[in-house]
Structure 1
Amino acid sequence: MNMNKFRITVGQAFLLLGFLMVLSSCRDVKKGKTDALEAITTRSETSDRFTTPLGKEFSIPEPSEKMIAQYQEAKQAYESNPDSANALIWYGRRTAYLGKYEDAIDLYSKGIEKFPEDARFYRHRGHRYISIREFEKAISDLELATKLIEGKHNEIEPDGMPNAMNIPVSTLHGNIWYHLGLAYYLEHDYEKAYDAYLNCRKSGELDDNIVSSTHWLYMIQRRLGNETLANEMLEPITQKMDVIENQSYYELCKLYKGLIPIDSLLRTKSGNPSNDAVAYGLSNWYFYNNDKEKAKELMLDLLDSPSWSSFGYIAAESDLIHYFDKIKP
């Protein structure tokens, strides 16, 4: 046998060694992600699927490596300091960002047991009750949160999923009132929703807060048949505002005020929370302008969005059940 056929150069040997090291590294990364997902699944007592009130079933999306790393960091921070309210808040928030809403609710419930005077736990648990369509529980939590913040200094709420400029644009008080207004709206209690969103708008002067609260204030008054008051709600809206995050609400407010035509928004496709907000705002525009069939059509289209926990999706779902006799399975 001619052994020369099997000889390789030193350079080829190093190239082969490098390839094997890269292959091994890729396997380690994949194994690390798999181990992390298994650890999350083992900790979770909830399903990886969610069924909406109208019977649509969704898989919880697989999180990115960054989200998994942030979750693990938050979990370890809490386990090393279980008496820290902040650590428990972030453990709950990172769990919720993975789509594990019921697990997050359990963590916030633990926080309420340990820190019953901390409004943040009621604020975040209320938000996640909305995500899983437990609106009455959300209202109960968020009403209590409003009592806990009475007379207390407002504070900027740090972002768990920062905007493009990495500038937080919401406050603790504003988020409590915002989500309370939303929960009442989803229960079709428009008077209480209106009061909550008025308090939301008063809670902060940032333009992002102004446009998000004004969007709901306008829609609520149109639903109540008060077009004059609805238009008065648009007074703070101008053509040039410093909106960082809530661009979808801003565009809708400009539509309501006649600053842009509806055609400029009709091209927006659902599929993420921001686009779903626009899609719902447009469907509602047709609803209170007496084109119920077009409203229903847009709401049904919105339910094809994969963003089943977006506020626009949930609002369309609630309206289809309440106004259009869409039957629960």
Structure 2
Amino acid sequence: MPFLHKISPLFYLILSFIMTLGFNACQDSEHPEVPGPFTTPLGKVYSREKASGKALQQYLEAREVYKKDSSDVEALIWFGRRTAYLGYYEDAIAIYSQGIRRFPEDARLFRHRGHRYISIREFDKAIADLQRASELIRGTENTIEPDGIPNAMNIPVSTLHGNIWYHLGLAYYLKGDYPNAYSAYIHCRESGTNPDNLVSSTHWLYMIQRRMGNYILADSLLRPITPELEVIENNSYHNLCLFYKGAITEEILIPEGKPSAASDAVAYGLANWYFTNPDSLTLDKGVDLMSAIVEGDNWTSFGYIAAESDLIDLQRKADPVIKE
């Protein structure tokens, strides 16, 4: 059109600048790319969902804070945590890895990356990270770890030291290394005095000793557990410990007798109790409960991952040809 020749070059420069700003704004507000489906070691395939709602908003805010100052390790940690809460564990691991290259002495980065290695079943890498984190905290004061997903009372109940030892113990447990798992959970129980830490660590300590055939020692670990403990967050572990102690029945532990109505943590605790019962007749019931857990959708819960690991180990024992 002839009139276009009358528009000054300055107009085109301004128009180009506005379009560039608009493009960058769109880029900044984009959803994170959804990772591909995750295939578990048992061959079950789970799709990752597109981020939405509050979790997406928190992710975008954390990403923006990090982009403004990528040298801020706190911003990097929260960017990684918000990414992981979306279920995008590999991306979170990449963020923590970037942080470790820049801040190799920050135990928190190894703690969080180790946790997410557990989520994607890379247990050896998790152990290496969490072991390194345990070395970095040696001689340091323990601190409360802020919650990314607050509990109902909005009172954080976990600590940096406790979380490092908890996840290290879990990684060893999932590998079937019960002596090292027990040692880590002893450190975890000693890291804090609040009831939530007590019941969560005692639950795993009890299960580990039953796995090792030490039933008397397992029972002795339950002595500090009482119904009166003021547990804020880890009610599932509290109820399990009370069940192990004989203070509540299975009917109370599992609503309406349906494991699917309970959390994976409770279902797995009950499964392990049956699986390690001296009466071998209950072993099959434990295996059935584990199988029911892995038929569910919560593939990143620790109960699911533990049940999965046990079933794989049983398959391996039944067929020595199966490799890790």
TM-score normalised per structure 1: 0.85
8 Å Cα contact 1:269/1:279 also seen in 2: no
One-letter amino acid of the counterpart of residue 178, structure 1: Y
Which residue in 1 is equivalent to 2:152? Answer: 164
Aligned ranges for residues 37-48 of structure 1 at < 5 Å? 38-41=30-33, 46-47=35-36
One-letter amino acid of the counterpart of residue 45, structure 2: E
> Equivalent of 1:194, from 179, 182, 189?
182
One-letter amino acid of the counterpart of residue 40, structure 1: P
Structure-1 separation of matches of 2:148 and 2:59: 11
Structure-2 separation of matches of 1:37 and 1:254: 48
- CA offset at residue 265 of structure 1? 1.9
Aligned ranges for residues 151-300 of structure 1 at < 5 Å? 151-267=139-255, 275-289=263-277, 290=280, 291-300=282-291
Asked if 1:108 is matched to 2:96, the reply is: yes
Which residue in 1 is equivalent to 2:7? Answer: none
Which residue in 1 is equivalent to 2:14? Answer: none
Structure-2 separation of matches of 1:296 and 1:318: 12
Percent of matched pairs sharing the same residue: 59
Asked if 1:312 is matched to 2:303, the reply is: yes
Structure-2 separation of matches of 1:189 and 1:36: 45
8 Å Cα contact 2:31/2:51 also seen in 1: no
8 Å Cα contact 2:259/2:289 also seen in 1: no
**Residues 15-34 of structure 1: CA deviation (Å, up to 9, x unaligned):** xxxxxxxxxxxxxxxxxxx9
One-letter amino acid of the counterpart of residue 172, structure 1: L
Aligned ranges for residues 5-154 of structure 1 at < 5 Å? 38-41=30-33, 46-47=35-36, 49-154=37-142
8 Å Cα contact 1:280/1:299 also seen in 2: yes
- Higher RCO (Cα < 8 Å, 6 or more apart): 1
- Matched residues, number: 291
Please give the secondary structure, in 2, of the residue aligned with 1:210: helix
**Residues 8-53 of structure 1: CA deviation (Å, up to 9, x unaligned):** xxxxxxxxxxxxxxxxxxxxxxxxxx98895301xx6x42x11100
One-letter amino acid of the counterpart of residue 139, structure 2: G
Structure-2 separation of matches of 1:142 and 1:134: 12
8 Å Cα contact 2:127/2:172 also seen in 1: yes
TM-score normalised per structure 2: 0.86
8 Å Cα contact 2:29/2:60 also seen in 1: no
- CA offset at residue 262 of structure 1? 1.7
Consecutive unaligned residues of structure 1, counting only runs of 5 or more, are: 1-33
Structure-2 separation of matches of 1:67 and 1:124: 18
Consecutive unaligned residues of structure 2, counting only runs of 5 or more, are: 1-25
**Residues 181-213 of structure 1: CA deviation (Å, up to 9, x unaligned):** 000000000000000000000000010000000
One-letter amino acid of the counterpart of residue 235, structure 2: Q
- Say if 1:64 and 1:147 are closer, same or farther in 2 by CA, change over 3 A: same
Asked if 1:321 is matched to 2:321, the reply is: no
8 Å Cα contact 1:211/1:250 also seen in 2: yes
Structure-2 separation of matches of 1:124 and 1:270: 30
8 Å Cα contact 2:271/2:285 also seen in 1: yes
Which residue in 2 is equivalent to 1:301? Answer: 292
- Say if 1:270 and 1:117 are closer, same or farther in 2 by CA, change over 3 A: farther
Please give the secondary structure, in 1, of the residue aligned with 2:38: strand
8 Å Cα contact 1:212/1:246 also seen in 2: yes
Return structure 1 stretches of 4+ with deviation > 6 angstroms.
34-37, 326-329
- Say if 1:271 and 1:163 are closer, same or farther in 2 by CA, change over 3 A: farther
**Residues 290-327 of structure 1: CA deviation (Å, up to 9, x unaligned):** 31111111011011211100000000000001124488
Which residue in 2 is equivalent to 1:29? Answer: none
